[in-house]
Amino acid sequence: MLDHRVAATIAWVVGAQPALAYPPTPPSASTAQTQLNSLTVKAEGTTTGYSRDKFPHWRTVSGTCDTRDEVLKRDGTGVTVDSGCEPTGGKWYSVYDAVYITDDSAIDIDHIVPLAEAWRSGASTWTTAKRQNFANDLTIAQLIAVSASSNRSKGDRDPAAWKPTNTSVHCIYAREWIWVKHTYGLSLQSTEKTALQQMLNAC
pLDDT value at residue 21: 55
For 61, counting Cβ atoms within 10 Å of its Cβ (0-12 exposed, 13-18 middle, 19+ buried), the class is: middle
pLDDT value at residue 124: 98
List the chain residues with pLDDT less than 50. Answer: 1-20
Decide: 135 and 19 in contact? Cβ < 8 Å. no
C-alpha distances out from residue 63 to 72, 89, 104, 133, Å: 15, 19, 20, 19
Closest CA to 174 of 189, 186, 160: 160
- Strands in 76-81's sheet, in edge-to-edge order, are 76-81, 87-94, 99-101
Please tell me the distance from the alpha carbon of residue 101 to that of residue 115, in angstroms, as a whole number. 25
Alpha helices in the chain (DSSP H): 4-14, 29-38, 67-75, 115-120, 128-135, 148-154, 170-184, 190-201
CB atoms closer than 10 angstroms to residue 56: 14
